[in-house]
Structure 1
Amino acid sequence: MEASIIKIGNSKGLRLSKTILDKYNIQDKVEIILEKGQIILRPIDSPRKNWENEFKKMNENGDDKLLMTDVFDDENLEEWT
């Protein structure tokens, strides 16, 4: 399949047909992968899909602990007043 590059303001873009958008379930965003001289477009259906379930698993496994405290030991909060 061949597609033309079109001018969009000061940029250029690629127009995808409705058939391609529907077939690959492309909604608003795609992931762009540059690999071995190729440009790969991968649909993004939901950037945070399944995060809620993964956070629940982390909590159940005790993996949701803070790695850093909110305040560093050598932090001087007086500088900000």
Structure 2
Amino acid sequence: MLVRVRRIGNSQGVILSKTMMDQCDIKDMVNVEVKGNAIVIEPVTHKPREGWAKQFQIAGPDSNEDLMGNISNEFDDSDWTW
């Protein structure tokens, strides 16, 4: 299906039909990713902060446990002096 890209303020977007939204079980939130040369839109099947409360309970208020795992960024890897 060809769909025209429309200006929405300073951005651009496309309008998806209700039928298309229903077929993909999209309600009110989607996850949007770029994969290769494609934009992939998927329905969100869980709440964005689901599980956070449990993670904080596991750590406890006085815990020094690293809940972020081995997440790093370019700044941490190259520019930060420890």
TM-score of the pair, normalised by structure 1: 0.57
Q: CA deviation at 1:46?
A: 3.0
Aligned residue pair count = 62
Q: Find the aligned partners of 1:47 and 1:21 in 2 and give their Cα distance.
A: 18
Q: Find the aligned partners of 1:48 and 1:30 in 2 and give their Cα distance.
A: 11
Report the structure number with the largest CA radius of gyration. 1
| Structure 1 partner of 2:73 | none
Percent identity between the two aligned chains:
27
| Structure 1 partner of 2:16 | 16
- 4+ long deviations beyond 4 Å: none
TM-score of the pair, normalised by structure 2: 0.57
Matched, 1:4 2:16: no
Q: CA deviation at 1:21?
A: 0.8
Gaps of 5+ in 1: 69-81
Q: Which has the higher strand share?
A: 1
Gaps of 5+ in 2: 66-82
